[in-house]
Amino acid sequence: MGAALALGERGRGRTTPNPNVGCVIVADGIVVGRGWTQPGGRPHAEAMALAEAGEKSRGATVYTTLEPCAHISTRGPACSDLLQLAGVARVVVALGDPDLRTNGAGVARLRDAGIAVDLGLGAAAARSAMVGFLMRRQHGRPAVTLKLALSLDGATAMGSGASQWITGPQARAHAHLERTRHDAILVGRATIDADDPTLDVRLPGLEARSPRRFILSRTPDLHHPAPDCALPWENLAAPDAIGTLQAIDTMLVEGGPTTAAAFLSADLVDRLLLYRAPIVVGGGRTLPDIGLSDLSEAHGSWAMTDARTLGSDRLEVYERVRE
Amino acid sequence: MGAALALGERGRGRTTPNPNVGCVIVADGIVVGRGWTQPGGRPHAEAMALAEAGEKSRGATVYTTLEPCAHISTRGPACSDLLQLAGVARVVVALGDPDLRTNGAGVARLRDAGIAVDLGLGAAAARSAMVGFLMRRQHGRPAVTLKLALSLDGATAMGSGASQWITGPQARAHAHLERTRHDAILVGRATIDADDPTLDVRLPGLEARSPRRFILSRTPDLHHPAPDCALPWENLAAPDAIGTLQAIDTMLVEGGPTTAAAFLSADLVDRLLLYRAPIVVGGGRTLPDIGLSDLSEAHGSWAMTDARTLGSDRLEVYERVRE
């Protein structure tokens, strides 16, 4: 399942509206097929793995990170049917598919055909890998990651507005890699005006992986050429705020602090990506009010899920704790 | 030497103006004497260890974290003489004593007496353990640790001023433990007025280890009963600012942000103790201007030397990088 999850990562940020599934087929202890959801969402991971395995899939065990689909689409047959036709003996599934067209029907169809199905192996990792797809199905909106580059004292820029650079080249390269893992990047109007960022991915070999660009703006008459789409500020206050954006299941909010505060105030941030430089700024630009009325409200909302060193900086990842 | 360093820690915060030295005497592979600088600075670690070892010190190896003293004081004989009298065969010293009365003379006296001396084992750890003593000798001022309890976005309090609590009980207990390791605590006038802190150590068994209390104030007419001594604000700007404080070789600055900024502006902070809670505050009180004119000036000043988890909080320790 670890190998299947790793394969699924290959599709991260390129398969929306489909989930980035990974699949491995094992026959007699040997991997005979490997697949992952292809850019645009098809072929599915299982279909790709079965095509590679060919006749060797007969009697084999299939590891897949998401329940095989049960619905026939104009874009291809149902994977649960394909698995049955291929004659596999056993399917190990990390996570059930909440898509209403599958939602247990995939597992049921396999079991009806006499195929053994195990559910739950690697579920937590699969949930994290396909967080955007799941957030869209369960909450009708994209999964939002907020990225901030900060000093030890929480400054995102000097008081003068200068923010180049808080963090070093390794941290900035990592932030570019994170862009490739999201369907969209969003910045605020102030960031566009101040930095005129290109918001693309400038990592060798990954230039084509730049996500769609959004700008959060209070003014509807936006004539700046950089963003692909403007998101009116008022929309963010509505509960389904960003849910109407088509084919955007994962969004990376890159700041500045006003935009960050808008998303935090609306409780629309699922993951914090904090790049922390070992510098003290003093009097810098920090996160404005997010509507907190008491310190006790702030506690219990975030859990650290990752921490690592990037050059002289530290990356800390926090995930929103939701009941 | 590790054991000697550990013994030296027992004196931390209680031996000023003497250094908190640790000493172990080993004969035939067995520890026969252990000593550490006693509260107030005497007896010295070597004298205590020799007293325990008695006749067993003849031909033994002595591990000590600082060069044995070469000067005879009204408070006791020179340790280098005591070691010679005891007939030890070898002395392993972590760090030379910069005190001008010793400064190599201790090692020379031992070698003249035919005792083998090795210098440098565990020097970095010894330097860190006796940082206040060394800072006083080399720069004529105490070593200053700045403690801050912060949210992820760098807030030391809400915009309203509420700061109870940013961090949890484990982090606060650790901060109390740090108090016992310093000769003095210092807070700003605003903290006294807002929180009326007792600034003592409230850890079971360590109540008697409360350090002297200082307040940094712009107004000389200070009638608050809490602090033991007032440090006028203007003094901080002078290069020898806090150097005139008697018997204070280690100082813990506990804030708030204005006081922290005053010490940072004067480049008087040697160590940052950052207790970071997994909360986002927004619009909180953050560190004010510290006189930085360009972001590039901020880089290269701090190196992380420790990081640990305290309950749901994180402690990060940074030390000032000085040429």
> pLDDT tens digit string along A102-147?
899 999 999 999 999 999 999 999 999 999 999 998 888 899 999 9
CA distance A268 to A236: 9
CATH number at B204 reads 3.40.430.10
Residue A165 sits in the same domain as residue A311? yes
Could you say which of B110, B131, B152 is where a domain stops? B131
What is chain B's mean pLDDT, rounded?
Answer: 89
Residues of A in contact with B155 (CB under 8 A): 154, 286
Helices B45-53 & B2-9 angle (0-180, nearest 10)? 120
Minimal C-alpha gap between B107 and chain A (Å): 39
Specify the pairing of strand A184-188 against strand A212-217: parallel
pLDDT digits (tens, 9 = 90+) for A145-187: 999 999 999 999 999 999 889 999 999 999 999 999 999 888 8
**What residues of B act catalytically?**
46
pLDDT digits (tens, 9 = 90+) for B152-171: 999 999 999 998 899 999 99
CA distance A281 to B299: 10
Name the amino acid, one letter, at B85: L
| H helix or E strand, kind and range, residue B92 | strand B90-93
pLDDT digits (tens, 9 = 90+) for B26-81: 999 999 999 999 998 999 999 999 999 999 999 999 999 999 999 888 877 899 99
Residue A153 sits in the same domain as residue A295? yes
Residues of B in contact with A306 (CB under 8 A): none
Name the amino acid, one letter, at A189: R
Q: Would you call B154 and A159 a contact, using CB atoms and an 8 Å cutoff?
A: no
Residue B127 sits in the same domain as residue B164? no
Angle CA(B157)–CA(A282)–CA(B295) in degrees, nearest 5? 145
Highest mean pLDDT among A9-13, A84-88, A136-140, B72-76: A84-88
Is the pLDDT assigned to residue B185 strictly greater than 80? yes
Q: Which pLDDT does position A313 carry in this prediction?
A: 97
Residue B61: which domain range? 2-131
CA distance B183 to B228: 12
- Which of A165, A278, A282 is closest, CB to CB, to B288? A282
Residue B173 sits in the same domain as residue B283? yes
Residue A115 sits in the same domain as residue A169? no
Q: Closest Cα to residue A14, out of A253, A208, A145?
A: A208
Q: Which pLDDT does position B210 carry in this prediction?
A: 76
First to last CA, chain B: 27
- Give how far the C-alpha of residue B122 lies from the chain's centroid of Cα atoms, to the nearest Å: 17
Q: Which pLDDT does position A145 carry in this prediction?
A: 97
CATH number at B25 reads 3.40.140.10
Residues of A in contact with B151 (CB under 8 A): 154, 298
Residues of A in contact with B314 (CB under 8 A): 304
- Give how far the C-alpha of residue B225 lies from the chain's centroid of Cα atoms, to the nearest Å: 26
Determine the average pLDDT of the residues in A15-21: 93
Q: Give the CA diameter of chain A.
A: 68
Determine the average pLDDT of the residues in A246-272: 90
Q: Would you call A279 and B302 a contact, using CB atoms and an 8 Å cutoff?
A: yes
Residue A148 sits in the same domain as residue A120? no
Nearest 10 degrees: CA dihedral of A105, A111, A113, A116?
Answer: 140
Query: Per-residue confidence at A235, pLDDT binned at 50, 70, 90?
Result: low
Q: Which pLDDT does position B133 carry in this prediction?
A: 94
For B304, counting Cβ atoms within 10 Å of its Cβ (0-12 exposed, 13-18 middle, 19+ buried), the class is: middle
Spell out the alpha helix ranges (H) of chain B. 2-9, 45-53, 79-86, 105-112, 123-129, 131-139, 169-180, 189-195, 257-265, 295-298
CA distance A178 to B196: 46
pLDDT digits (tens, 9 = 90+) for B206-265: 777 778 787 777 665 444 444 556 666 555 555 455 677 777 899 999 978 999 998 999
Residue A188 sits in the same domain as residue A277? yes
Q: Which pLDDT does position A222 carry in this prediction?
A: 47
Residue A95 sits in the same domain as residue A20? yes
Q: What are phi and psi of A73, to 5 degrees?
A: -115, 165
Is the pLDDT assigned to residue B181 strictly greater than 50? yes
Residue A97 sits in the same domain as residue A207? no
**Residue of A190 and B285 predicted with greater confidence:** B285
What is chain A's mean pLDDT, rounded?
Answer: 89
Half-sphere exposure of B15 (CA within 13 A, CB side): 24
Minimal C-alpha gap between B295 and chain A (Å): 7
Residue A121 sits in the same domain as residue A238? no
Angle CA(A219)–CA(A220)–CA(A221) in degrees, nearest 5? 95
Q: Which pLDDT does position B104 carry in this prediction?
A: 94
Residues of B in contact with A273 (CB under 8 A): none
Please give the structure tokens belonging to residue B99: 């005190």
Q: Which pLDDT does position B307 carry in this prediction?
A: 94
Could you say which of B105, B131, B157 is where a domain stops? B131
Residue B102 sits in the same domain as residue B158? no
Could you say which of A102, A131, A160 is where a domain stops? A131
Which 3 state secondary structure label does DSSP give A185?
strand
Angle CA(B133)–CA(B134)–CA(B139) in degrees, nearest 5? 110
Within 8 A by CB and 6+ apart from A60, the residues are A25, A26, A27, A32, A33, A53, A88, A89, A90
Query: Per-residue confidence at A226, pLDDT binned at 50, 70, 90?
Result: very low
Q: Which pLDDT does position B241 carry in this prediction?
A: 59
B250-253: strand order across its sheet: B229-232, B212-217, B184-188, B250-253, B143-150, B271-276, B313-320, B302-310
Specify the pairing of strand A271-276 against strand A313-320: antiparallel
Taking CB atoms within 8 Å and a gap of at least 24, the contacts of A96-100 are: A96/A67, A97/A19, A97/A66, A97/A67, A97/A68, A97/A69, A98/A134, A98/A137, A98/A138, A99/A69, A99/A137
* Mutation target among A170, A273, A287 for the B interface, most CBs of B within 10 A: A287
Q: Closest Cα to residue A45, out of A72, A99, A82, A2?
A: A82
Name the amino acid, one letter, at B251: M
* Mutation target among B271, B290, B295, B297 for the A interface, most CBs of A within 10 A: B295
Q: Which pLDDT does position A30 carry in this prediction?
A: 97
Residue B41 sits in the same domain as residue B120? yes
CA distance A61 to A52: 14
Query: Per-residue confidence at A231, pLDDT binned at 50, 70, 90?
Result: low
Cis geometry, peptide bond prior to residue A204 (ω within 30 degrees of 0): no
pLDDT digits (tens, 9 = 90+) for B121-132: 999 999 999 999
**What residues of A act catalytically?**
46
Is the pLDDT assigned to residue B101 strictly greater than 70? yes
Q: Which pLDDT does position A223 carry in this prediction?
A: 47
- Which of B280, B286, B314 is closest, CB to CB, to A264? B280
Minimal C-alpha gap between B115 and chain A (Å): 45
**Residue of A190 and B318 predicted with greater confidence:** B318
Q: Which pLDDT does position A232 carry in this prediction?
A: 61
Minimal C-alpha gap between A290 and chain B (Å): 5
Q: What number of C-beta contacts closer than 8 Å exist between A and B? A: 139
Domain count, chain A: 2
- Which of A278, A286, A304 is closest, CB to CB, to B286? A286
